Structures are given as C-alpha cells and as structure tokens.
C-alpha cells in the first residue's frame, strides 16, 4: 500500500499555492512545529496554523516573485518524509535572484502535520529526519 503521507505532502503544497487556508488549517496539528533552519530567510520556530501563517508571511514578504517545484519525496519512515523543493525567485526590494533546492521535512501523526521544517539543502533535511526517527525508536 502506498504511503498516504506522500500524497498529503503534495496536497499541502497545492493548498499553500492556492491560498487554501481552510485546508491547511485542517492538516496542521494545533501544536504542530514549523521551523526554518539558520540560513533560511525566516529562521525560527513557530507553532500551529497561526505560527505557519506567521512563518509564511515573513517568507513571502522577502520575495517579489517565487515558484516551487516539488521533487521526489524521500520516505525516511512512514511518518517522516523529506521533499527536495526547487525554488526560483527574486528578492523584494533587492532584486536578488534565488535558484536552489531546499529540503522540506514533514512529520505526520494520524493524518495531521506535527512538524514542517525547512532546511537550506535536502541533505540537511534528511539528516534531521533521520535524527527524528532515531529519537522515536
């Protein structure tokens, strides 16, 4: 059977891109952790849907233009996934262009997103995901 969390990760990106806050509120655990690693525009830790919104606002304010392409997800285990996300954008005000692949870590529990972490690279996200899996074991 295919891992339903893979589809959930894709659905979450689609909901985000469509501005579907209702759908995002449904999937983000009320105490879910949103984290931007050092080196990310909006580094820090936030919680729940409101924290996700705050994190997203800070991210979006940094860009005049931005696009996302989700790569093939890495299943570290059934609940923990990493998505390489190719992001192309132009900085607000600065005009600085970005064209790189970040690592997005998703951790699901009973259909709800309990962790969404963004790292400057897929390798860093996979290492963090492996650490989470070891902690849970």
Digit-coded pLDDT (tens) for 64-113: 999 999 999 999 999 999 999 999 999 998 999 999 999 999 999 999 99
Kind plus residue range of the DSSP H or E element containing 126 = helix 122-136
Contact partners, residue 85, CB within 8 Å, separation at least 6: 13, 68, 69, 70, 71, 101, 102, 103, 104
Contact partners, residue 112, CB within 8 Å, separation at least 6: 27, 28, 29, 32
Instruction: Return the pLDDT at 1.
Output: 56
Q: Which domains does the chain have, with CATH numbers?
A: 4-136 (3.10.450.50)
- Give the whole-angstrom CA distance, residue 84 versus residue 122: 5
Please compute the mean of the pLDDT values over residues 54-68 and round it to a whole number: 92
Q: Which residue has the tokens 């900085």?
A: 91
Q: Which residue has the tokens 């005009």?
A: 95
Q: Which residue has the tokens 């998703």?
A: 106
Query: What pTM was estimated for this model as a whole?
Result: 0.92
* Average pLDDT score over the chain: 94
Q: Is 95 helix (H, G, I), strand (E, B) or coil?
A: coil
């Amino acid at each position: 059977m295919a891992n339903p969390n893979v589809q959930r990760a894709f659905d979450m990106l689609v909901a985000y891109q469509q501005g579907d806050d209702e759908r995002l509120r449904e999937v983000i655990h009320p105490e879910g952790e949103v984290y931007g690693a050092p080196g990310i525009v909006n580094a820090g830790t936030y919680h729940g849907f409101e924290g996700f919104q705050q994190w997203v606002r800070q991210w979006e304010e940094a860009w005049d233009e931005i696009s996302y392409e989700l790569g093939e997800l890495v299943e570290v285990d059934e609940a923990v996934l990493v998505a390489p996300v190719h992001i192309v954008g132009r900085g607000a005000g600065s005009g600085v262009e970005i064209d790189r692949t970040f690592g997005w870590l998703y951790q699901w529990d009973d259909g709800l997103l309990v962790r969404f972490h963004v790292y400057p690279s897929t390798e860093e996200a996979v290492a963090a995901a492996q650490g989470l899996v070891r902690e849970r074991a």
